[in-house]
Structure 1
């Protein structure tokens, strides 16, 4: 009887691999960037200082008066002197009316009317303390500043990518029998 048989024979072979590496090229261009900085807005408002000096009292103290003030002073002095003269004459008249009372009013009045009053001596060219009035209002400065934010514009550029795929080749290099 014949039985079926399977026969296997093998032959040695040598295979070879050839590879080609993948290549990847990436280039990133720089971003386009623009920055603009507007100037700040600045406003300065100033009120000027004010200095006032009133020396009219000091000038009056050293007899350097305005013509209107001199006229007023003389008219006031004349009025006061006339009232003093009227009062003196009335008083002397009353003394003369009462001459019978033990006294000698004629001699005393003659002596009083003939003597000049004693002049006062003093320094007249120095003004009184505080006669010059000074008023000062300082300057006022108002500063307002408004900042303007920078304007920034950015344009992102996409990268340039080139890709070459790799390959693997398998082939029979040698067959051995």
Structure 2
């Protein structure tokens, strides 16, 4: 009895993958950084100076009133004019305009738009045509051959016994 191998016909269609991408976009805005260095937009610097002028004027008026109160206190027996002259040499940095922006670690704005990716997949296909071949059987009626390839037997091998005492 024997059976020939099956006949197989395989047709494949390969899968197809298409990927389309657009470039990502990186934008860096350093206007706040330049403004903190004093190299920012001119109009913003003027606006800062303008908005602090009222406060500086009020501080100057308060300083004049304080100086007048010191000079009016004749009963303290101190030299008010000399004290004010010494103090005026130290007041050079009292009234400064801050026209620069705030210094910060977050002065540079970085924005990134990732790329868009379009993926199209066409699946592949496998077509199989299998033809099974029938077994080929040849026999002769009335003929029977029975035989044994090995006769049944059991062999027992005992372990060695150590007789040394």
Larger radius of gyration: 1
Q: Which protein has the bigger strand share? A: 1
Q: Which protein has the bigger helix share? A: 2
Q: Which has the higher contact order (CA 8 A, sep 6+)?
A: 1
